[in-house]
Chain A
Amino acid sequence: MSSQPIPQNLERFPDLHPALDSQSAVAEANRCLFCFDAPCAAACPTHIDVPRFIKKIGSGNLRGSALTILDANILGLSCSRVCPVDVLCEGSCVMHRYNKKPIEIGRLQRYAMDHFYANQETLPYGRGSVGVSEPRPSGSGPTHRVACLGGGPASLACAAELRRHGYPVTIFDNRPLPGGLNTYGVAEYKLRASDSLREVELVRSLGVEFRQAEVGGSDVPNAVPLEDLEREFSFIFLGVGLGAMERLGIPGEHLRGVIDALRFIERYKTSPDFAVGRCVVVIGGGNTAIDAANAARRLGAEEVHLFYRRTEKEMPAFSFEYDHSKIEGVRFHWLAQPVEVVEQDGRAVGVKFVETRLGQPDATGRRNAIPVEGSHFEYACDMVIPALGQSRFMGMLHSTCGIELKGGSIVVDRPTGRTTNPKYYAGGDCVNGGREVVDAVADGKRAALAIVGQAVAAASEATHG
C-alpha cells in the first residue's frame, strides 16, 4: 500500500460527490449570507469559521481559505469528504428556514483543501518555529514531551496543535500505516486511503515523530509498556479508538467466507486483489454495516442482503446513508437475528435466522428485539459480513494508571479531555464510544490546548513559585 490510490478502486469507487469547478465554487460561495455567529460554525465540532473560509473562496484567496479551515481542523481535507454534513454544518444552515438549498459547505471546504494539497502548500508554523499564540514554555525539552497513542484522527489533531505551540510530539500507532480508521475504515468513495496519508504527511511535516509500535497490552509480544512512556513523556494523550468488531457469538462464525466488516473494508481499501462473494449477507444496522454492504455491491456482488434485528426506525445508521444504500442496490431485511452460520465443505453457505418482534423501549428509548419462537429460516449466501459495532476493550491500560472507565469508554472532563489521571488526556472514539472523524479531531485539539495550558501553568509555577 503506497500513497497512490488503487486503480481498480478509482474505477469502482468514484467520488460520491463530484468536486466543484472554480466558477461554481465562487457562485456557491457568493450565495453564503455570511451570518453573524454562524450556526454552521457552532454546529461544527471543530468550530471551523465557515463563513470566513467561504468568503475567501469568493474573493479568490484560496490559500487564506485553506488556512482558515486548517487553523480549526487539521484534517480539513478528510472532514470535507467524510463528515455527515447533513446533521452538522449544512444541517444548521439558515437557508433551510428560508426554503432554500443550504450552502454546500462540505464541497466548498473540499474545494479549498484540494487547492491547498494540489499546490503543495505548507503551514506557516510547525517544524522549528515557536508556537503562534503561546510562548514556548521555558522548561521545554524532555519535561514537556508528549506521546500520542494511536495514529488516528484524534491523535493527529492533538499532535498538530501541540506542534503549533512548539511542543515535541511522538505518535505511536500499531498499524503499518498511520491514520487510523481514516486510512483503513472510511468508505472509499468518500475518502481514499491515499488521501488520508496525505494528511498524515502534513502532520509529519510539522515535525511530529511517528513510531510504529503497539503500546501496553502485556499479552502482546514486543509491546511498549505504558510505564516506559510515562517516564519518557510529560503527558500522554490516548487516541486509541475502539477495539476489534464484536463477535456474533453463534456457531459457524469462524468459517471461511465469514469476515467482519472492518476487516472486509480494510482489505478492499488496501489490497488490489481482494475478491467479494456473489451473494453477500451483512448483519447489523449501523453506518459500518451500510458501508460494507455498499462496498460489496461495488466490488461486484450480485446480491447484497442486509439483516437487522429491529426495524428501519431503530436503525442507528444516518438516514441519508440508508437512502444512499438503497440506490446502491442493497436489499434490507428487518426483524431477523442470526443464530448460526450454515456450513458446507468448511465454507459458509448461508445464515440461519430467527424472526424477532419489538418489545418495550429500553433505557435509551429504543425498543428491544425479542426472538419469535419457532420462526427460523435460512438464507443462502457465499459471504457473511457481521457488522455489530466495535468492542470497547481498553486492554492496554494497566490497572495502576488510575484512569476511570465507564461502559468501556475513558472518562474525561469534556472541555479539556483530561482523564482522572492528570498526566493522561484522551479523545476520539475511545472517549465518545464511536462517533465521527470530526469529533475525534475536536477532542484532540481541545486536549492539546489543555495540555499546553497545564504545561504553561506548571512552568510559571516553577519559576515564580
Chain B
Amino acid sequence: MADLTTNFAGIRCPNPFWLASGPPTNCGEQVMRAFDAGWGGAVWKTIGEPIVNVSSRYSSVDWNGQRMMGLNNIELITDRPIEVNLREIAEVKKRYPKHAVIASLMVDSKREVWHDIVKRSEDAGADGLELNFGCPHGMSERGMGSAVGQVPEYACMITEWVKEVARTPVLIKLTPNITDIRAVARASRRGGADALSAINTINSITGIDLDTFTPRPNVGGYSAHGGYCGPAVKPIALHLVQQIASDPEVGLPISGIGGVSGWRDAAEFILLGCGTVQVCTAAMHYGYRIVEDMADGLSNWMDEKGFRTIEDFRGLSLPKVTEWKHLDLNYKIVARINRDTCIGCDLCYIACWDGAHQCIHLDGHALPAAIEARSRASVTTTPIAKLDSVQATIGATPPARIPRVDEDECVGCNLCWLVCPVENCITMEQVDAGRPPESWEQRTHA
C-alpha cells in the first residue's frame, strides 16, 4: 500500500489533498467535517478585516450538457470577524492535531498590521501561513490580493515583513493574471518565502445573458469581472506550475491549485513537482466526499507503478518538458484507421479536410461538398424488410464510409485521432523518416 503522508515545507499531514481557501473552508465546523471525510489539510478561507459580499456571486460555464466546466466568483475574503476565525482554528487544531490547518491571510499593506495578524494566527495554532497575493477581484481595487501579487517588489516586501515574525512556514499564493509568473515567484523567494501556492483564479467574464445583456453573475443589473477556476483552468495551472517548478531561481516547494477534481489531476500536478494539491471548485460541486476516490485512486495508481511515497514520483515529468527548439524534427508519426472498429462517422475526414492537411479520403479524392451533394440527391425509400428483403438493422460499416489516410501527405498532427469518438480506432504510429534525430537548434547551428 502506498504511503500518502506528506511533509510539505515542514508541514506534516496524512495526505497531499488540501482544501483550497474558499467557501469549503469558511468555518471550523466545515473544516472538521472535511477532515472526517479524508482531507489531509485545509487552507482557511482568507482572513482579514471582514468584508461585505454581494449577491449573486458565482457564475459558470457549462459545456455540452456538463455543468460547471468552469466556475467564476466575485466573492471577497471572509465576512466573519478575525477573532471568530482564529478561535475556530484553535478548536480544529485541538481536535485534529495531525491535520494541516493553514491560515490564509490578507490585510492592508502595513508592516505592523501584517505582524499582528501573523502572530495571532500562529498563536491560534495554524501550521502555516498562506499570503493571498492572488485574489483578482474586489480586494485588488483596495490595494490587496493580486494588486500585491502583480508587483514583484510589493510581494517581496510583504513577504519580508511576514518573515520577520513568522515561526511557521510561509506560503505565497500566486496570481496567474500576470505576464510572467516567475517574476513574482522569484520575488517571493527573495523575500524569504518557504513555499508557493499556484494558481489563484484567472480574471474572467463567464458569459452574458442574451435577454438582459448583463454579464453573469448579475448584481442588480450590473456585473464585475471575477475569478475563473474549475476543470477549465487546469491546463493553464499546469503550465504555470511547470514554469515556476523548472525555474532554478525559484526552487521552492509548490502546492498545486487549479482545476484539480480527481486523483489523475493530482498525479499530474505532482509529476510537475507539486508537494500537495489544493481543491476548491470540485469540493463546491460535489462535496467533501470526492476526496475518498482521490486518495484511493492515487494510492492504487502508485501501487501499480511501484511508487511507495509521493516523493518517489514528484517532479518526474519536469525533465520531459523542454523547449520547442530541442524537439526532434525527424520524429514522424502518421494516422492509421482501424477498418474493423471504424463506425463511419467520418468526422476525421471533415476534420482533416477543413482543419488539417486534406489527406484523409473517401471515394477517390472527392471534395466534401461533392460527397454531401450526392447523398442529398439520392432517391431513398423506406425499406420494408419483409417485402424488399433488406436488412432492417444496421450491419457493418459500409466500405465507402471508411476513410483512408494518405500516409505520404499526413503531417502527423493528431487532429483526426483527437476527433475520433471510438477508442483506439485511429492510432498514431511512428514511421521511419529515414533521417537521424535532429532538432531545430541543431539544424540552424550546424
Contact = CB atoms under 8 A, between A and B. Distances in A.
Interface string B389-401: 1001110110001
A45 interface: yes
Interface in A86-100: 86-88, 91-98
Interface in B1-37: none
Contacts of B393: 91, 96
B418 interface: no
A34 to B, nearest CB: 7
Contacts of A83: 382
B345 A35 contact: yes
B379 A446 contact: yes
Interface residues on B, range: 35 or more
A88 B344 CA distance: 17
Nearest to B353: A36
A316 B64 contact: no
Given A35-B345, A97-B343, A97-B344, A88 B371 contact: no
A37 interface: yes
Contacts of A316: 384, 386-387
Given A91-B392, A91-B394, A98-B343, A438 B401 contact: no
B143 interface: no
Interface stretch (A25-33, A202-210, A294-302, A335-343): A25-33
Contacts of A94: 343-345, 397
A255 interface: no
B345 A36 contact: yes
Interface in A323-365: 364-365
Given A37-B375, A39-B401, A96-B394, A88 B382 contact: yes
A97 B396 contact: yes
Interface string B351-383: 000000000001000001001100111111111
Contacts of A5: none
B380 A44 contact: yes
A295 B422 CA distance: 43
B392 A319 contact: yes
A73 interface: no
B382 A45 contact: yes
B97 interface: no
Contacts of B394: 91-93, 96-97
21 contacts: A30-B64, A35-B344, A35-B346, A35-B347, A36-B349, A39-B344, A58-B64, A84-B382, A87-B385, A91-B392, A91-B393, A94-B345, A96-B393, A98-B421, A313-B386, A314-B386, A316-B386, A316-B387, A318-B392, A432-B381, A435-B382
Interface of A: 26-27, 30, 33-37, 39, 41-45, 47, 58, 83-84, 86-88, 91-98, 313-316, 318-319, 364-366, 414-415, 432, 435-436, 438-439, 442, 446
Interface of B: 64-65, 343-347, 349-350, 362, 368, 371-372, 375-387, 389, 392-394, 396-397, 401, 421-422
Q: Which 9 pairs, one residue from A and one from B, show the smallest C-beta to C-beta distance?
A: A36-B350, A36-B346, A97-B343, A35-B345, A96-B394, A94-B343, A42-B375, A30-B65, A436-B382
